[in-house]
A and B are shown apart, each in its own frame.
Chain A
Amino acid sequence: RKEVEQDPGPFNVPEGATVAFNCTYSNSASQSFFWYRQDCRKEPKLLMSVYSSGNEDGRFTAQLNRASQYISLLIRDSKLSDSATYLCVVNSNTGGFKTIFGAGTRLFVKA
Chain B
Amino acid sequence: DVKVTQSSRYLVKRTGEKVFLECVQDMDHENMFWYRQDPGLGLRLIYFSYDVKMKEKGDIPEGYSVSREKKERFSLILESASTNQTSMYLCASSLLDPGLYGYTFGSGTRLTVV
Residues of A whose CB lies within 8 Å of any CB of B are 4, 8, 31-32, 34, 36, 41-46, 49, 87, 89, 91, 93, 97, 99-104
Contact = CB atoms under 8 A, between A and B. Distances in A.
Nearest to B50: A97
Interface on chain B toward A: helix, strand, loop, or mixed SS? mixed
B105 interface: yes
Interface of B: 35, 40-45, 90, 97-100, 102-108, 110
Given A4-B42, A8-B40, A103-B41, A43 B108 contact: yes
Given A46-B103, A101-B43, A103-B40, 8 more contacts: A43-B90, A44-B105, A46-B102, A87-B42, A89-B102, A93-B99, A97-B98, A97-B99
B42 A101 contact: yes
B102 A49 contact: yes
B42 A102 contact: yes
B101 to A, nearest CB: 9
Contact of A42 (B35, B99, B103, B107): B107
Contacts of B100: 32
B108 A97 contact: no
A43 B99 contact: no
A79 B90 CA distance: 27
Given A99-B45, A103-B42, A91 B98 contact: yes
A108 to B, nearest CB: 17
A43 B40 CA distance: 16
Contacts of A100: 42
A101 B90 CA distance: 13
A103 B40 CA distance: 5
A100 to B, nearest CB: 8
